[in-house]
Amino acid sequence: MKLTDILRQINEEEEENGLQSPDKANYEVAIIPSDMQAALDALSNSENYVVKVIDKDGNEKIDTNFSRTFSDQSQIDKIFGRSKMAEKNIDAMNNWNSLSPVGRRSKVRDLQKREPEVYKKGIEGKDFIKAYDFWQSEGNEGSEEDFIIDNDYKPGAEFAPIKKVSKLGTDNKYFPQKNADTLKKYAGTLSIDTNYDIDGDKIVFPSAKNKWGNKDLIKRRIKTIMNNAGVEFKEDTKYQLPDETPTQSIPAPTPKPAGPSVLTLTLDPAKIKGKKPELNAIIKLLKNTYDKNFDYDQENSVIKITNIKPERRADVRSQFAKFLKPVIPVKENFDFERYQMLRRAGIIK
């Protein structure tokens, strides 16, 4: 082995074991892929988790394979479900209902590849077709895949599209079968909502969710995965975490009781055009979550969610990022009252 190879191997081992200096910047590794679905497919394929080199005879060979089990037993159960069928059905429901729209689409694509016959039989079933036609009659647009993503997993014998394409009789195919090969494929790769998150058009790899730990190592390996899959991407070098630097403790005044927290989002009709199925899927999921606290004024393209937890505001806003109207900042010396008076008088529009 060459000296450079030995030094590189030592360097990576030190980074994995946290022996090198901690990162100075409070940021997370984030990329903006040219094709989001292709990037997600690349991350779910363990064959991309290798460093390839050309040997002295000109042949390509694998120099480093960093596909490994990232999960403890609880995460293994999350990937494969628990062993008993009754528990597996509950796990499938909890997993599906907790996924973002992007995560649900990734799961559907996995089922299409892993259980094509089960999936085909499901969408061709009479009850599925009847429910899909009714969904469209309510003004929804989209494919069978969009219909599946738009609906939650229901308990017991209740109808749910995802159950129709992931169950064969009483046999639940939602999770992959656990064996040596699937452990390598699924537990040996990063998982959406477990090891990385989707934030608008970005894929974020929080170091706290990744056993590689060191951010420079995460960055290099994500680049390797994308390059092996032929997926183009840009790095977002400014994706920072909130500053949690402790400040001098000053007794805070007793806060007055606050009214209900309201998140207001104004959508851009031009950005909605051609993407209504994707928007409807997000709206349906959030409407199911917030129920009466969720309001969508389609005429004015305004979404309001009341009683939303502060820590959820940024996450919900990010799901609508591609549909939002740009915010025009108000100038520091702008006389808003005079502006309103002139508008009411019809002097300005």
Q: What is the DSSP string of 311-342?
A: HHHHHHHHHTGGGBPPP-PPPTT--HHHHHHH
Q: Are strands 202-205 and 29-33 parallel, antiparallel or unpaired?
A: antiparallel
For residue 24, the model assigns a pLDDT of 44
User: What total of structural domains would you count in the chain?
Assistant: 2
Q: Is residue 200 part of a domain?
A: no
Q: Is residue 87 part of a domain?
A: yes
Q: Is residue 239 part of a domain?
A: no
For residue 332, the model assigns a pLDDT of 47
For residue 287, the model assigns a pLDDT of 83
CA 61 to chain centre: 33
For residue 201, the model assigns a pLDDT of 87
For residue 261, the model assigns a pLDDT of 74
Q: What is the domain extent for residue 316?
A: 262-323
Q: Is residue 161 part of a domain?
A: yes
For residue 254, the model assigns a pLDDT of 59
Q: Are strands 171-172 and 167-168 parallel, antiparallel or unpaired?
A: antiparallel
Question: Which token pair is 191?
Answer: 């998982």
Q: Is residue 272 part of a domain?
A: yes
What is the spatial distance between Cα 2 and Cα 273, in angstroms, rounded to a whole number? 57
CA 5 to chain centre: 36
What is the spatial distance between Cα 27 and Cα 41, in angstroms, rounded to a whole number? 25
For residue 165, the model assigns a pLDDT of 94
Domain boundary among 172, 198, 214: 172
Cα separation values, 262 from 20, 304, 312, Å: 44, 7, 11
Q: Is residue 24 part of a domain?
A: no
User: What separation, in Å, do the N-terminal and C-terminal C-alpha atoms of the chain show?
Assistant: 74
* Residue-by-residue DSSP string for 213-258: --HHHHHHHHHHHHHHHT--EEE-TT-BPPP-------PPPPPPPP
Q: What does the pLDDT profile of the chain (349 residues) look like in tens digits?
A: 454 454 455 455 544 444 444 444 567 899 999 998 899 888 888 888 888 777 777 777 776 777 665 555 666 777 788 888 888 889 999 989 988 888 899 899 999 999 999 999 999 999 999 999 999 998 888 999 999 999 999 888 889 999 999 988 888 899 988 877 777 666 668 877 778 888 888 999 888 877 776 788 888 889 999 999 999 999 988 786 555 555 455 565 555 555 557 888 888 888 888 788 888 888 888 888 777 888 888 888 889 888 887 777 888 888 888 888 775 554 545 565 666 666 666 666 5
* pTM as predicted: 0.49
For residue 14, the model assigns a pLDDT of 47
Which long-range CB contacts under 8 A does 153-159 form with residues at least 24 apart? 153/92, 153/93, 153/96, 153/97, 154/93, 155/93, 159/127, 159/131
Q: Is residue 240 part of a domain?
A: no
